[in-house]
Structure 1
Amino acid sequence: MPSLKEIKTRITSVKGTRKITSAMKMVASSKLHHAQVAIQNMLPYSNQLEHILKSFLISTPDASSEYQMAHAQMKRVALVVFSSNSSLCGGFNNNVIKLMLQAVEEYHALGVEDITIYPIGRKVEEKVDKLGLKKGGSFLDLADKPNSEDCRQLAMKLCEQFLHGEVDKVELIYHHFKSAGSQILQRRTFLPIDLSTEAIGEENDRDLGSNLATAKAQEYLRKKKAKEAGERIQGAKINDDFIVEPDLETVLRALVPKELHLSVYTALLDSVASEHAARMVAMQAATDNADELLKELNLQYNKSRQAAITSELLDIVGGSVNN
């Protein structure tokens, strides 16, 4: 049995750790709030642009984009993988890395050997370097400070490679933020772009009003999602009375790159919010575990102290009787 001093030292250590995890939980909660606000400010513009673009392309018979044309053969693939720069966020980074490796194995099975990884975040970049995979650059700053302009440049680079035949397919691997307690790992095709109207509003299921990862919040999200699904009009009615100026090609050349840019930026914001939510939940769990451990240690300390007092009293009583 450990001595009283050892138990007391461990209690002090656990209390110090609990203070750290509790503070990290509050910091993650604050950062999550800012990330949610960023998504909330971006969504109206993104949703409206998506609806206008896809409705316009579907309703105009001659409308088509070079970004939606699949290549005849798939020999070169690019994967844009979103992770975090720091750890202590549960299985957030490990899940992203596992899905990336699964995607690489699937393409290898299809005979695709030229796979380029665009790692956004230190954790996935370190894994790519360790495995010796082909890397398309370093984007460590984006994981900590989401920047629309940097996302636009990355989207433009991928689009140019796709148009010039340097890449046949581009995929995004990231966590889709639904609520503080639910982040869905996704693997989505970026290029060739899907311009069907069936997917309009498909990812507008975020709960941006709460930082609580509770069962009650989960139930609220499920009800909200069911309500929106019932109100959504499949194959939405499309206004086909478009007046195109100056011409169809110019309009498409301006709209499609904006939509692709927003896809990358949205994935980044989703990933950042998911990271903070995962860290908040992990630190809350660590704090709860520290509380339970403190209860056990205090009970053990009190029992040991009482046993020591009883032993001393017995020695005193025994000595008095002998005298």
Structure 2
Amino acid sequence: MASLKEIKTRIASVNSTRKITSAMKMVASSKLHHAQVAIQNMLPYENLLEHILKSFLASTPEAQTIFEESHKEIRRVALVVYSSNSSLCGGFNSNILKMMEQAIHEYQEKGITELIVYPIGRKVAEKIAKLQIPSGGDFLELAEKPNAHECAEISKKLTEAYARGEIDKVELIYHHFKSAGSQVLTRRQFLPIDLSTESIGAMNDRDLTSNIATAKAQEYLRKKAEKKQRQQEVTVPLNDNFIVEPDLATVMESLVPKLLNLMIYTALLDSNASEHAARMVAMQTATDNADDLLRDLSLQYNKSRQAAITSELLDIIGGTVNN
């Protein structure tokens, strides 16, 4: 059995660790709130752009763009993978890296060896360096500070390469933020883009009202999603005859790149919020485990102390009897 001094030292050590995890949980909670606000600020633009595209495409089914057209043969694939720059966020990074490796393995099995990864986050950059996969650039700062302009630059680079035939397919791998307690690992096709009216807006199912990860919150989110699905209506044309100025191709060339820019930026915001939510939950779990360990150590300390007192009393009583 450990001595009283050893138990006391262990209690002090666990207490110190608990203070750190508790502080990190509060910091992550604050950052999560800011990330949720960033998503909320982006939503009006996203909703309006999706509404315009849905209405336009529902009324003009013949509308097409080069970013919709699949290449006949897929030989070169790009993956945009989102991770964090730091650790202590549970399985956030490991899950992303597993899905990325799975995607790379699937393409290699199909004979596609020309792969390029755009690593948004240090963990992905380190992993592809080990795997010797070509990198599309350095985007470490973007993982810490989401920036719409830099996301638009990435989107522009990818779309131009796709239009020139240098890339045949692009996928996004990231955590889709649904709530503080639910981040869904997502592998989403970026190019060629799916412009069906059913697909546009399908990812807008976030609950940004709370940063508390509890079972009740999860149940509330599930019921809310079911209710929203029941109430969802099929988009109908606003007008049978749109007058398009200057022409249909020009309008599509303007709207579709904006949607692609938004997809890169939205995935980054989702990943950023998911990272902070995962870290908050991980630190809360660590704090709870520290509390349990402190209770066990305190009980062990009290038992050992009582046993020591009892032993001393027995020695005193035994000595008195002998005398």
- TM-score exceeds 0.5: yes
> Is structure 2 residue 72 aligned with structure 1 residue 72?
yes
1:105-133 residue CA offsets vs partner (Å, 9 max, x unmatched)? 11111111001011100111111111111
SS in 1 for 2:264: helix
Residue equivalent to 1:95 = 95
CA distance in 1, matches of 2:114, 2:147: 29
CA distance in 1, matches of 2:63, 2:281: 47
SS in 1 for 2:173: strand
CA distance in 1, matches of 2:157, 2:322: 93
> Shift in Å at residue 269 of structure 1?
0.3
> Shift in Å at residue 244 of structure 1?
1.4
* Native 8 Å contact 1:57 1:64 kept in 2: no
SS in 2 for 1:209: coil
* Native 8 Å contact 2:57 2:197 kept in 1: no
- After TM superposition, list the pairs within 5 Å mapping 1:211-250 onto structure 2: 211-234=211-234, 236-239=235-238, 240-250=240-250
Gaps of 5+ in 2: none
* Native 8 Å contact 2:177 2:273 kept in 1: yes
> Shift in Å at residue 249 of structure 1?
2.1
- After TM superposition, list the pairs within 5 Å mapping 1:3-18 onto structure 2: 3-18=3-18
CA distance in 2, matches of 1:110, 1:7: 58
Residue equivalent to 2:29 = 29
Go from structure 1 to structure 2 and tell me whether the alpha carbon gap of 1:260 and 1:72 turns closer, same or farther (over 3 Å shift): same
> Is structure 2 residue 275 aligned with structure 1 residue 275?
yes
CA distance in 1, matches of 2:241, 2:86: 50
Go from structure 1 to structure 2 and tell me whether the alpha carbon gap of 1:167 and 1:155 turns closer, same or farther (over 3 Å shift): same
Look up the equivalent residue of 2:306 and give its one-letter code.
Answer: Q
Look up the equivalent residue of 1:13 and give its one-letter code.
Answer: S
1:211-233 residue CA offsets vs partner (Å, 9 max, x unmatched)? 11001111111111011101111
CA distance in 1, matches of 2:55, 2:168: 26
Residue equivalent to 2:322 = 322
Look up the equivalent residue of 2:45 and give its one-letter code.
Answer: Y
Residue equivalent to 1:158 = 158
CA distance in 2, matches of 1:50, 1:125: 32
> Shift in Å at residue 203 of structure 1?
1.2
Look up the equivalent residue of 1:113 and give its one-letter code.
Answer: T
Gaps of 5+ in 1: none
- After TM superposition, list the pairs within 5 Å mapping 1:112-261 onto structure 2: 112-234=112-234, 236-239=235-238, 240-261=240-261
TM-score, normalization by structure 2: 0.98
> Shift in Å at residue 252 of structure 1?
1.5
How many residues matched? 322
Residue equivalent to 1:309 = 309
Look up the equivalent residue of 2:132 and give its one-letter code.
Answer: G
Residue equivalent to 2:84 = 84
CA distance in 2, matches of 1:250, 1:148: 23
Tell me the C-alpha RMSD between the 2 structures. Answer: 1.0
Look up the equivalent residue of 2:270 and give its one-letter code.
Answer: D
SS in 1 for 2:309: helix
CA distance in 1, matches of 2:243, 2:20: 60
CA distance in 2, matches of 1:37, 1:309: 58
CA distance in 2, matches of 1:301, 1:243: 81
TM-score, normalization by structure 1: 0.98
CA distance in 2, matches of 1:82, 1:300: 45
Look up the equivalent residue of 1:142 and give its one-letter code.
Answer: L
CA distance in 2, matches of 1:30, 1:194: 36
Look up the equivalent residue of 1:258 and give its one-letter code.
Answer: K
CA distance in 2, matches of 1:302, 1:193: 65
1:59-114 residue CA offsets vs partner (Å, 9 max, x unmatched)? 22542111111101000000000000111000000000000000001111111100
Look up the equivalent residue of 1:105 and give its one-letter code.
Answer: H
SS in 2 for 1:190: strand
- Residue identity over aligned pairs, in percent, reads 70
Residue equivalent to 2:47 = 47
* Native 8 Å contact 2:172 2:189 kept in 1: yes
